[in-house]
Amino acid sequence: MTTTIDVLDASGAKTGTVDLPEEVFGTKVNVPLIHQVVVAQLAARRQGTHATKTRGDVSGGGKKPYRQKGTGRARQGSTRAPQFAGGGTVHGPQPRSYVQRTPKKMKAAALKGALSDRAGGGRVHVVSSLVTGETPKTKAALEALRKITQARSVLVVVDENDEVTWLSLRNAPEVHLLDAGQLNTYDVLCHDDVVFTREAYDQVVARLANSGKEEA
């Protein structure tokens, strides 16, 4: 069953309706899949530049600290061995990549599940615009947004060329802006409501509705 929601303008008035396609906003929420995709997404953000010095990297220690036999102590060849203060680190972190391979089909399925969860709770909204005119206005954009949703944190998805909306909301702490091509599972789950501009909504639906066909 396809759900229909209202398209609102900057004043909060209804300007039309859009259907939320069942294949995008009505899929089964697969929690393990979503968890796997989110973990992979967060892992990919890690720089992996951490490094510790092994005994081969620590300076000094070239001279044998004392003779091999006759001292009653264990034999030692260097003061830079791990058991000495100032020595190298054993099994410490080294530079590495944390990237996990995640197939496109899995990413699309997880995103659909996240959007379906938000849509099921009535937390997906579509607007014709948040700013009237050609001049960026943060106060007006936030007032328009509050007429649509009172959520504490809002994900606003816009067309990448919608410069007026970008400039109006980019510094609002309660708003996270994304263009339609960057929409991802993690950001959908991190925010209470998702607000699409009409252009961005059409782009996201076109991309996700065809994702299964492309993989087939």
State the pairing for strand pair 124-127/175-179.
Answer: unpaired
- Cβ(130)–Cβ(144) under 8 Å? yes
Q: Any idea which residue has 């996270």 for tokens?
A: 176
What are the CA-CA distances from residue 54 to residues 48, 77, 170, 183 (Å)? 17, 15, 45, 42
Residue 212 pLDDT level (bands cut at 50, 70, 90): low
Neighbours of 181 (CB within 10 A): 12
- Cβ(72)–Cβ(66) under 8 Å? no
Q: State the pLDDT at residue 1.
A: 61
Q: How far apart are CA 184 and CA 111, in angstroms?
A: 6
Q: How far apart are CA 205 and CA 145, in angstroms?
A: 22
Judge whether residue 78 has pLDDT over 90: yes
Alpha helices in 95-197 (DSSP H): 104-120, 138-148, 163-169, 185-190
E strand segments, the chain: 3-8, 14-20, 124-127, 154-158, 175-179, 193-197
Closest CA to 62 of 75, 78, 51: 78
Average pLDDT, the chain: 92
Over residues 128-144, the mean pLDDT reads: 91
175 SS3 class:
strand
Least confident of 72-86, 143-157, 173-187, 199-213: 199-213
Judge whether residue 168 has pLDDT over 90: yes
Beta bridge partners of 6: 17
Over residues 173-198, the mean pLDDT reads: 95
Judge whether residue 11 has pLDDT over 90: no
Centroid of chain to Cα 66:
56
Residue 192: exposure state from Cβ atoms within 10 A (0-12, 13-18, ≥19): middle
Q: State the pLDDT at residue 216.
A: 35
Q: State the pLDDT at residue 2.
A: 72
